[in-house]
Structure 1
């Protein structure tokens, strides 16, 4: 493997990492990681490539990004299979993740003809006041194992049409998908006589990530990983509220998908389910029945809905969390054990009986464990939502319009994603994606998140023969 910087460089000094299939823990491949020396060379080539890329008009950059989307679309099933093989999510989710990158490319194409600042009215005669947006330069992108394609796509497609070069460090456990995606992108760039280093890759561990974080040549750094490591976008405690007037036909499938999808390893996975005391027992019973019908199996089987955890370490973390929940007064009403089969399979788990402020409830657990909590009043449960340090995604289930708008208002959810009658997971690309508090640090994908990848200049042009000063100041 090599850091794609024009023609591939060879990594010869970095350590070799073996990647494993989470479904059976069999080795897939050995990938040589980049050394810090390799990293230095890659950064230099990426910075040089930026000089070429920034000179290309934005609509032309958009056309090249469109071609990248088409190239990904042509290989979507193969890439989806690779995501499933290396990460462990079911095949349909692997394909869906690549499709998300394709969709962001389509979005970015249109955006390439729209980015820019307004012409503002000047208070001085014969003057024009404009906003000029320029690329920041080199965007570092560090992504996590759970979405090894989509998160890079959110960042790179928009960053590219803004005129930036990108340097990607994926998770060491998903190096194959990082290499495959980068090869596809590099071919499109080079077919357009653009250096492949515009989208460079360094496979590596914490040493490379630390180097990126400390490197002043990184004009912008996007990090997705644990709050413990990054304090930014991460493994979150997510929230969901179900009031007594909720439509349970929406609640059960929504909670099931949000808590069990991707084996509980999404950043928007539901961790806490708050149920009004009047419907608590009914919902728990129906949810347990729904859990029992989840088809667990091989990620590549089209009938499978629930696959393995990503690593053996994740299985240990799951067991530790279940034990802590029991010690703190919780009852496991469904699941809680490792499944006896090859691979990193655990039972999707429901825990009841814990207080809202139990330490385990406030602890990040990247596993399919749903803590079901009972509440009485709207005011208290809104406060419980906001008492944790994380704040990415939340959802409420109710038919009360007043409650909906209180939930969306200043005293409602303090999360970056605030939903009503839909799951916490499954965000569309057109909206800005990101959280608040320890899961804050910016937005990605849609809306006006493109502004993060650019620097803004306020420009005043005097096209008259006079020199009036602002605020009517006389200096003569």
Structure 2
């Protein structure tokens, strides 16, 4: 079956108005599929189905919920190639990147299968009153999940798995650029034993109206969003009307600091991971790369050589390292960042110009001598451009690294573990990679400070985002 419709109540629906929209392959600009576009009437149907399904699901034992999630992990792991290919087709990322995402996405089902049985409570004796304090965690209620286009599988499973582990039903609104992967996940969840109506998928071109409508339904108690800070602010305003529980994973402006004593081989390897994973189209991507003046020339040469070794092309070709960006708007914004930086004094070491022809391709690019006034220093590049700056003083680089409204992730490279940990603690970021260019892990609490979001995904904390803490005072 060609799954391109809305998934509501365990069945496929063309939508209340029968409207559809096209999903493009960013490597060829050809239409991959025409997908149903949900309206508010469809959202109401999904909420009805979710409400009905949650009553039974929340009453199941944690072990019963765990076994379903474990089965989902097994099934997805057996089909990683299929999901990776679909991710590449609609998102553009190269096959290796897509396989990495598919594996990462599946792992959330296994992790939260294990966490489902660990919503531990507490019984203690109140020191003053003598009463017993009983604390337990209960499913919060229906959850609306809004996911971005840059990780079509992982950003969905990172929300679905903990919600189901907690006992909640969900309605997921995938990005309109990349809805196919999440739709394709639904038959797998059926096979794993997820009850009809517990997970519903509503692709739509009317995202704002659709999500706002759901956030004003009193049955909804949680909204979980991954995307830009600007959109996150709008959702928080809507969520405030009914005082919903928000989980927000928003934008970033990640600094990467290479000290003079760093292992440069490791630093370059880590920078390539932090910068080029998912073509730089990630909120965790290294956006500002600060290199100590004493090693800047050597580091720049090594990084440029590594970038030069990457092959650009259609990600379905296994030999390709770098696929296209998601759309023309993203490619053009990356071009503008580079042009602005060069106009202000930056030097192009490699790349620096969008590729001609079909597809939204931009080559791996290294910019050195990037000034503080460059636009790319203050905004997410969201593309394969490494913007290098230099520093000589530790206090100064910490100040510069923290000088942003964002606080998602930072990276530090140094052989001196004491200095590394001291610097990590002073960086105002929710996550720090110390001598590592990759921090995302299903077992770790992913999230940021400041305007990079609220709450955490993954780890034990990820399930608690979908639960409410109840306290009972008793005497016996």
Query: What is the TM-score normalised by the length of structure 2?
Result: 0.91
Q: Deviations over 1:176-227 (max 9, x none)?
A: 112101232134336xxx3x21111111132323334444432111111112
Q: Distance in 2 between matches of 1:124 and 1:264?
A: 55
Q: Which of 239, 246, 257 is 2:273 aligned to?
A: 257
Counterpart CA distance in 1 for 2:169 and 2:400 is 42
Match of 1:209 in 2: 211
Q: Is 1:413 the equivalent of 2:427?
A: yes
1:344 matched to 2:348? The reply is no
Task: Please state whether the residue corresponding to 1:219 is helix, strand or coil.
Answer: strand
* SS state at 1:278 partner: helix
In the TM superposition, 1:447-458 aligns within 5 A as 447-458=460-471
Checking the alignment, whether the CA contact within 8 Å between 1:186 and 1:199 is kept in structure 2 is: no
Q: Between 144-153 and 365-374, report the one with greater CA deviation.
A: 365-374
The match for 1:170 among 156, 167, 174 is: 174
Residues 1:422 and 2:436 aligned together: yes
Q: Is the 8 A contact 1:261 1:306 kept in 2?
A: no
Residue 85 of structure 1 corresponds to 89
Structure-1 separation of matches of 2:420 and 2:40 = 51
Q: Contact 2:341 / 2:371 at 8 angstroms: preserved in 1?
A: no
Q: Distance in 1 between matches of 2:170 and 2:102?
A: 18
Residue aligned with 2:6, SS: coil
* Displacement after TM superposition at 1:45 (Å): 1.4
How large is the RMSD of aligned CA atoms in angstroms? 1.8
**2:449 matched to which residue of 1?**
436
Indicate yes or no: 2:386 matched with 1:386.
no
Q: Does 1:9 align with 2:13?
A: yes
1:292 corresponding residue in structure 2: 308
Unaligned runs of 5+ in 2: 234-247
Is the contact made by 1:90 and 1:299 (CA closer than 8 Å) also made in structure 2? yes
CA distance in 2, matches of 1:385, 1:296: 31
Residue 341 of structure 1 and its aligned partner are, at CA, apart by: 4.2
Where does residue 55 of structure 1 map in the other structure? 59
Aligned residue runs from structure 1 range 52-451, under 5 A: 52-123=56-127, 127-189=131-193, 194=195, 196-205=196-205, 206=207, 207-231=209-233, 232-409=248-425, 412-423=426-437, 425-451=438-464
Secondary structure in 1 aligned to 2:231?
helix
Give how far 1:449 is off: 2.7
Q: Distance in 2 between matches of 1:392 and 1:212?
A: 28
User: Is the partner of 1:313 in helix, strand or coil?
Assistant: helix
What are the Cα deviations for residues 72-95 of structure 1, in whole angstroms up to 9, with x where unaligned?
123221111101111111122222
TM-superposed deviation, 1:42? 1.0
Moved more, 45-54 or 238-247: 45-54
> For residue 474 of structure 1, what is the aligned residue in structure 2?
none
Change (3 A) 1:277 1:212: farther
Alpha-carbon shift at residue 140 of structure 1 (Å)? 1.1
Structure 1 gap segments, 5+ residues each: 464-476
Inter-partner Cα distance in structure 2 for 1:221 and 1:12: 24
Question: Could you give the per-residue CA deviations for residues 5-38 of structure 1, whole angstroms, max 9, x where no partner exists?
Answer: 1333331415311111111111111112111111
331-340 or 137-146, which deviates more: 331-340
Q: Secondary structure at the match of 1:361?
A: helix
Shift of 1:426: 4.7
Tell me if the contact between 1:186 and 1:197 (Cα under 8 Å) persists in the aligned partners.
no
Residues in 2 aligned to 1:56 and 1:421: alpha-carbon distance in whole angstroms: 43
Q: CA deviation at 1:173?
A: 1.1
Q: Between 277-286 and 4-13, report the one with greater CA deviation.
A: 4-13
Deviation of residue 53 (structure 1)? 1.0
Q: Report deviation, 1:2.
A: 2.1
Number of residue-to-residue matches in the alignment: 456
TM-score, normalised to structure 1's length?
0.91
Offset, 1:98: 2.0
CA distance in 2, matches of 1:290, 1:204: 40
Q: Distance in 2 between matches of 1:53 and 1:79?
A: 27
Deviation at 1:452, TM superposition (A): 1.4
Q: What do the CA deviations read for 1:120-142 (whole angstroms, capped 9, x no partner)?
A: 22337984321111000111110
Q: Does structure 2 conserve the Cα–Cα contact (< 8 Å) formed by 1:339 and 1:347? A: yes
**Mean alpha-carbon deviation: is it higher for 134-143 or for 197-206?**
197-206
Distance, in Å, in 2 between the alignment partners of 1:384 and 1:225 is: 24
Q: Structure 1: how far apart are the matches of 2:177 and 2:223?
A: 21
Q: Does the Cα contact within 8 Å between 2:14 and 2:36 map onto a contact in 1? A: no
CA distance, structure 2, for counterparts of residue 328 and residue 210 of structure 1? 41
Q: Secondary structure at the match of 2:397?
A: helix
- Native 8 Å contact 2:251 2:451 kept in 1: no
Q: Which has the larger radius of gyration?
A: 1
More displaced 10-residue stretch of structure 1: 48-57 or 335-344:
335-344
